[in-house]
Amino acid sequence: MVTVNVSAAGKPIRGLPMVVELPGKQLEDATISDVKSAITKKYPKFYQDRQKITLKDSKNILADDVTLKDAGVVEGGALSVKDLGPQVSWKTVFLVEYAGPLIIHPAIYYFPELFYGGPVQHSMLQRYVFAFVMLHFAKRELETLFVHRFSHATMPFMNIFKNSAHYHLGSGIALAYSIYSPVYGATSPYIRGTVRNDPLYIQAGAAIWLFSEISNLITHIQLRNLRPAGSRKRAIPQGYGFNLVSVPNYFFEFLGWLVITVLTGSYASWVFLAISTYQMYVWAVKKHRAYRKEFGSEYPKDRKAMFPFIA
């Protein structure tokens, strides 16, 4: 049997410090997950996803599958646990995020009287953009359900509001209210007699948009196939898009929103594009550096972070 002393890191936690006993286990096969399970067994409300386990006086998180021996813990050694607070699954957060635009866009598109005080005769551009947005977020919902595998099971509950705000306000209310307004309607001088009412111009944009969406899906499937279900195995992504950049899924996401922005010229779309591209690029650089650190000289030196041949 293995015993370890577990104390609270940061704010006090009811019942801690405590001695965790792991019957039938040795340091070589007892894992951090076993420690978490023992804590949860005694305090059910302190479930595993709320627990962040570290060595005493350390900030480095110990993964669930790490053994006590590999973590450097000796018999009767000390661990610290931090309460991460109420958690919500990543899948739930994604589903809520993407559901917002799927509700907001139809509401503003089909009920203009409620938002603009009168009917709007929709232009070809508005019809195409509406289809782009609905198909994009429907695809994201389906990917969340059937494609994505998440590195972490949960995130803090309050993040659902912060993350949803980006989509519900940016690509939801702001974008929909701008693009479906009379300014972009069929009788508007901003549309009538301009390139924004030219079928060839709009369909060329639609072709690029479709390419970006399909490409984004392909890269998501490739990422899924890199990590078998229930595995923490990691490998260098290769193939479609990955030979040029570390996160081609972000590049194709950027390209799809760029099409909508260029077609419409909407200020709301430009702002959303700028904010989302900046955030994706920050994530891309972080992922790019992580790949280089993990795989060293094996990682392709000429591969950029997000934008092919640029950065």
Q: Nearest 5°: CA angle at 217, between 213 and 223?
A: 145
DSSP state string for 138-179: HHHHHHHHHT---SSSEEETTHHHHHHHIIIIIIIIIHHHHH
Q: Give me the amino acid identity at 279.
A: Q
In angstroms, how far is CA 132 from the centroid of its own chain? 20
**Helix/strand/coil for 304:** strand
Which pLDDT belongs to residue 149? 85
Q: What is the pLDDT of residues 176-218, one digit of tens each?
A: 999 999 999 999 999 999 999 999 999 999 999 999 999 999 9
- For residue 59, pLDDT over 90 is answered with no
- Residue ranges covered by each domain of the chain: 2-85, 88-298
| Residue 58 binned pLDDT confidence (cut-offs 50, 70, 90) | confident
How many angstroms separate the CA atoms of 42 and 134, rounded?
47
Q: What is the pLDDT of residues 277-289, one digit of tens each?
A: 999 999 999 999 9
Q: Across residues 40-45, what is the average pLDDT? A: 92
- For residue 230, pLDDT over 70 is answered with no
Record: fold of 2-85: Ubiquitin-like (UB roll) (3.10.20)
Q: What is the pLDDT of residues 113-153, one digit of tens each?
A: 999 999 999 999 999 999 999 999 999 999 999 999 887 78
